[in-house]
Amino acid sequence: MTTINTLTPGIWNIEPSHSEVGFTVRHLGLSKVRGRFNSFSGTVTVADDQLSSSVSATIDMSSIDTNNAQRDGHLQSGDFFNTATHPTMTFVSAVVTETSLKGNLTINGITKEVALDLEFHGVTVDAYDMTRAGFSASGQFNRSDFGISFNAPIGLDGMLVSDKVTIELEIQIVPA
């Protein structure tokens, strides 16, 4: 395997089989419930000046997986994601720095700016001569900002499901 220090300018695609789009919410104020989206795509356009690069991604909201089919069905309903009307979530970057990614996240037809902490893990060439790069990103937002306000007054923190959502991304990209 060969290690490369920087990304080559051009278009790179998210490689879903080595990437993950995950999230965490608190349930009853007691425990974290984790979930993921199993179907997503995206591109990273690397500019000559890497800080002028951009990211865009689309997530299939019906691919939600919390390891509980009944809960996944409820999350796809009008109480949460309303996947019949809004089948995708999108992210389009506005600012990329060495340690952060800011952009517009659209859920339920509502667009808000979100900021993610960004970590670049490097570039390498695998045993099949495929160049790959890796990133981690994480951040938080309030689901109510996107019109997702379903809840019930119960639990230690006074709500069934926390308003705060933590997103965690593990992304591997390959040249287009």
Q: What is the CA radius of gyration of the chain?
A: 17
For the entire predicted model, the pTM comes to 0.90
Strands (E), the chain: 2-4, 10-14, 20-27, 31-37, 40-46, 54-60, 64-65, 88-96, 100-107, 110-125, 131-142, 164-175
Q: Is the pLDDT of residue 165 over 90?
A: yes
Which two three-digit tokens encode residue 118?
Answer: 């960004």
Tens digits of residue pLDDT in 139-160:
999 999 999 887 766 656 656 7
How far is residue 38's CA from residue 20's CA, in Å, rounded to a whole number?
8
CATH value of 2-175 in 3.30.70.360, 2.60.34.10, 1.10.357.10, 2.40.128.110 = 2.40.128.110
**Nearest in space to 136 (alpha carbons), one of 21, 8, 11:** 21
Supply the pLDDT for residue 51. Answer: 85
Supply the pLDDT for residue 150. Answer: 74
In the chain, where does DSSP find H-type helix?
A: 69-76
